[in-house]
Amino acid sequence: MFYTRCYVALIIMGWMIKINKNKYRVWSTVVDKYITDDMTKDELIRFLFWSRFEKLMDGMLEDIICFPKGWTDKKTGKYLNCEDEKHDEYFNVLKKRDEKFNQFFTKIKEAGITINLKDIDGVDVSTDV
């Protein structure tokens, strides 16, 4: 649980929120500008969900495509990496944002994982559709 809390804090480390009555805007200290328009609390929560979900997708795609990258071999103590072709495949997926979403769901479905989810417009993007 400790790691989860630290990870979540790191995701939004460079963000600040401006509150004006019941409207919220997110300011990025990285690019020194607002990265959202005025939003309600519910809209802000959805924005945060999708921002964090995208980071989850990136990490899961890397795990699925590049496995066993990042692990240490118990027997030899050596750091494991992935094949260059797999690493290239991972970065090609990341470059194409729209395709990344579809690729994520395809890869996790192939791995036997099912997710039931609707996007911000209410469109069902579940893996079992």
d(CA 50, CA 101): 11
| pLDDT per residue as tens, the chain (129 positions) | 344 443 333 345 689 999 999 999 999 998 999 999 999 998 998 888 888 888 888 888 888 889 998 899 999 999 998 888 988 888 888 888 777 777 887 888 888 888 777 766 777 766 654
Residue in the structure block whose two tokens are 């809390």 = 5
Separation between Cα atoms, residue 127 and residue 129, nearest integer Å: 6
E-strand spans in the chain?
Answer: 15-20, 23-28, 33-34
Report how far residue 123's alpha carbon sits from residue 119's, in angstroms, rounded to the nearest whole number.
Answer: 5
Which residue in 108, 95, 102 sits closest to 123, CA to CA? 102
pLDDT of residue 128: 57
